Amino acid sequence: MQQDPPELDAANHRLLIELKCADAFAKQHISQCLNYLRVAGLHICLLINFERPKLEWKRLVR
């Protein structure tokens, strides 16, 4: 099965969003998101942390 390039995933609304409530992003959070992307066959993930007063986020691309 051929997968779409990352820029087409966003155009087709295929985006993984992982919500966290942690003091800071840990390596385990990033690894978890990359594993989810691999299993789901997607390329783009937004990792969002709501713990801090200012929203913290990372965009991960596989």
The proportion of the chain whose per-residue pLDDT surpasses 90, expressed as a percent, equals: 73
Average pLDDT over residues 31-56: 94
Tokens of 27: 């390596």
Encode pLDDT of 4-24 as tens digits.
666 655 556 789 999 999 999
Residue 3 pLDDT:
63
DSSP structure class, residue 2: P
Q: What average pLDDT is seen over the chain?
A: 87
- pTM reported for the whole predicted model: 0.75
Separation of alpha carbons 28 and 33, rounded Å: 9
Tokens of 1: 């099965």
Residue 14 pLDDT:
82
Name the residue type at position 61.
V
Q: Are 44 and 60 in contact (CB under 8 A)?
A: yes
Residue 28 pLDDT:
96
